[in-house]
């Protein structure tokens, strides 16, 4: 028997597998989040679509999810915080860090996710990736073969862009 990849210390068959297989609904937003991580780690990509709220699926491609996820080695899940998302709630939030390796390089996905419960089923609605601020340049990027902006008359790569 294998431990569940979600980090619960339970066997996969007693933790996320019944949720992923549709045998039992996720009782909480956190349980759904854990099962979605486990689905990535174990290759149950269809579940990632069915566990997303129908209003948010849009043109979701299971093949694209599979292509992306298969390039990754999932190495651990850490739940940072939860807000609501209990068995008697209708909405919930889960902040987590999913650890993985891409090309052998350790990476982290830090996300604040939002969930909605309809009937007995929790759904992933959306997530906001944390700590990934977009870099905006103050000035246009200078190409290697363009004139150096310092005014020397040399190409950028032979002047200020020289390493």
Q: Are 16 and 10 in contact (CB under 8 A)?
A: no
For domain 12-132, the CATH architecture is Roll (3.10)
Q: Which contacts (CB < 8 Å, 24+ apart) does range 104-109 have?
A: 106/75
Domain locations in the chain as residue ranges: 12-132
Round to whole Å and give the CA distance between 107 and 163. Answer: 28
Cut 0.85: pTM above it? no
Residue 131: both structure tokens together: 């700590």
Q: Per DSSP, what are the bridge partners of residue 76? A: 99
- Which parts of 70-153 fold into alpha helices (H)? none
Picking from 81, 75, 67, 64, the residue whose alpha carbon sits closest to that of residue 30 is: 81
pLDDT at 135: 47
Q: CA angle 133-136-141, nearest 5°? A: 140
> What is the pLDDT tens value at each position of the chain, 163 positions in all?
799 999 999 999 999 999 999 999 999 999 999 999 999 999 999 999 999 999 988 888 889 889 988 899 999 999 999 999 999 999 999 999 999 999 889 999 999 999 999 999 999 999 999 875 544 556 667 777 888 888 888 887 788 877 6
């Amino acid at each position: 028997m294998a431990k569940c990849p979600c980090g619960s210390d339970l066997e996969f068959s007693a933790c996320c597998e019944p949720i992923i297989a549709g045998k039992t609904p996720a009782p909480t937003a956190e349980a759904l989040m854990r099962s979605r991580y486990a689905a990535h780690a174990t290759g149950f990509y269809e579940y990632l679509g069915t566990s997303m709220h129908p209003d948010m699926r849009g043109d979701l491609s299971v093949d694209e999810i599979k292509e992306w996820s298969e390039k990754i080695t999932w190495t651990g899940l850490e739940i940072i915080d939860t807000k609501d998302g209990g068995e008697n709630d209708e909405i919930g939030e889960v902040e987590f860090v999913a650890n993985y390796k891409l090309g052998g390089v350790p990476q982290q996905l830090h996300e604040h996710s939002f969930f909605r419960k309809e009937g007995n089923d929790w759904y992933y609605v959306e997530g906001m990736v944390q700590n990934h601020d977009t870099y905006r340049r103050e000035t246009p990027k200078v190409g290697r073969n363009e004139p150096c902006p310092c005014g020397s008359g040399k190409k950028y790569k032979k002047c200020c862009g020289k390493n």
